[in-house]
Amino acid sequence: MSGAGGNAPGSEQAAYTGRLTRRSFLRGGLGAAGGLAALAASLNPLRELDTSELTVEKFLQKHYKEMTADEMEGVLARIRTEVEQRYAVRPELRDIKAMDGVEFAYALHLGRCIGCRRCVHACVAENNQSRSPEIQYIRVLEMPRGSVDIERGNHHYDRPTVPDAGHYYMPIQCHQCANPPCVKVCPVEATWQEPDGITVIDYDWCIGCRYCEAACPYWARRFNFTSPQIPNEQLNPNMSYLSNRPRRQGVMEKCHFCLHRTREGRMPACLEVCPVGARKFGNLLDPDSEVAQILRTKHVFVLKQDVGTLPRFFYYFDEDYPRSHAGISLPVLQPHDVGGTR
């Protein structure tokens, strides 16, 4: 660019003998400048790359299952520092392993749910989901009575009060399938099923290909299209590596039955906030647990049974007995009704 223009006059002959004419210089220079500028522009997004997050130890971090206890401690310490820098909150980050002899299951009483969405927002508050753009694990469908066609469900309902007489409500979240299609399609094994039945994601191993999102028949997985936004004061400092630690842009996330709570014996956040007691949680392997008794004694069904995912999330409802004293009649129960169906 610093050349002082064509020093030869613009004779036709000059161009063909390789000499630099004004015309060829301008043509070549313009093309070269344009190409360089386009190259620079195409690399422009690199300016937005946050290299502060790109460290050697992060790059060399192993898969969750391959890490030794010491390595995990180092990773946890690093994540604690990162979270503290970003949110100004010192998290209680742990890596909680599955308990022995425990297989978690969830049961939801469809006749009870009133669709108040308390569970949805308790989940967001507990699990540090992005507030903007919005990520929610639980979807509450408002369904017309007399239909179980979830295509007719509406999760944008906006009524002054719920429940509505013509509808019932069906919350859907990750079903923690025993035969999970999302795990099968993951090309990097960033998601897997734990011994207690919870399908988890290693957020540091996920490459964000979203195959699992496409594979899930329950629309339970969410993708962080942008960097999740969480107000500092709303960050839940009780975290674990596989559950609710803050995610980054470009990774999947989903319900994990609040494993940082449930693996310590506590109930999931969505259950505790449910005002009507529609949600039940417990250990399937313990015959005296609430879910085990519900599965034995109530009318239970799973969603999309035909796809063969074997969910650990069950919907149940009461057997038909009179609830009103209008025209008193004793319940006429057949023996097979009383025994419950499964």
Partner 1 sequence: MPSKRSQAAPTRHGQPARPLTGWFVGPIFLALALWFGIGPQGLALPASTPTSVDRSVLTTAPRRTALSDPPTVRIDGFDRTCMSCHRMFPPREVPASKLLQHRHIALAHGINDRCHNCHHDDDRDLLVLRDESTISFGRVVELCAQCHGPTYRDWQRGAHGRTNGYWDAHYGEVRRLGCTECHDPHQPRVPAMDPLAPLPGPQALRAPAYDVHDDHIFITRDPLRRQALRGHVETIAPSPAANSAPVEVFDEEEE
221 near partner 1, judged by CB under 8 A: no
Q: Which of 37, 88, 188, 207 binds partner 1 (CB under 8 A)?
A: 37
Residue selected from 46, 306, 323, 335 as contacting partner 1 according to rule CB under 8 A: 323
Distance CA 117, CA 120 (A): 5
Residue 251 or residue 273: which is nearer to partner 1 going by CB?
A: 273
For residue 44 the two structure tokens come to: 């422009």
Does 324 contact partner 1 by CB under 8 A? yes
Minimal distance in Å, beta carbon 212 to partner 1? Answer: 15
Q: Which of residues 139-198 bind partner 1 (CB under 8 A)?
A: 139, 142, 144-148, 151-163, 165-168
Considering only residues 193, 227, 238, 297, which one is a binding residue for partner 1 as defined by CB under 8 A? Answer: 297
Q: Could you tell me the CA-to-CA distances from 339 to 108, 295, 334 in Å, in that order? A: 20, 12, 9
Alpha helices in 8-115 (DSSP H): 12-16, 22-42, 56-59, 69-87
Q: Give the residue from 259, 249, 163, 169 showing the smallest Cα distance to 206.
A: 249
Q: Which of residues 251-280 bind partner 1 (CB under 8 A)?
A: 262, 264-267, 271-277, 280
- Select from 282, 309, 312, 314 the one that contacts partner 1 (CB under 8 A): 282
Closer CB to partner 1, 15 or 185, in the complex: 15
- What's the Rg (C-alpha) of the chain? 29
Among residues 166 and 237, whose Cβ is nearest to partner 1?
166
| Cα distances (angstroms) measured from residue 94 to each of 11, 83, 195 | 78, 13, 18
Quick one: 68 or 324, whose CB is closer to partner 1?
324
In this structure, are strands 252-253 and 222-223 parallel, antiparallel, or unpaired?
Answer: antiparallel
**Which of residues 208, 299, 303, 307 is near partner 1 by CB under 8 A?**
299
> Burial, 257: exposed, middle or buried (Cβ in 10 Å; 0-12, 13-18, 19+)?
buried
Q: How far is the CB of 238 from partner 1 (least distance, A)?
A: 14
Give the nearer residue to partner 1 in terms of CB position, either 75 or 119: 119
Nearer to partner 1 (CB atom), residue 183 or residue 269: 269
**Which residues in the 48-107 window bind partner 1 by CB under 8 A?**
48
What would the two tokens of residue 324 be?
A: 């009103």
Q: Do residues 143 and 166 make contact, with C-beta atoms less than 8 angstroms apart?
A: no
Q: Which of 107, 106, 137, 134 is nearest to 123 (CA)?
A: 137
By C-beta, is 5 or 45 nearer to partner 1?
Answer: 45
Choose the stretch contacting partner 1; rule: CB under 8 A; options: 79-87, 203-211, 226-234, 239-247: 226-234
Neighbours of 272 (CB within 10 A): 16
Q: Which tokens hold the place of 334? A: 């057949």
- Total residues binding partner 1 (CB under 8 A): 106
Instruction: Pick the closer one to partner 1 by CB: 84 or 337.
Output: 337
Interface with partner 1, residue 293, by CB under 8 A: yes
Taking the complex as a whole, the smallest distance from the CB of residue 57 to partner 1 amounts, in Å, to: 29
Task: Check if the beta carbon of residue 331 is closer than 8 Å to that of residue 321.
Answer: yes
> By the 8 A CB rule, do 312 and 284 touch?
yes
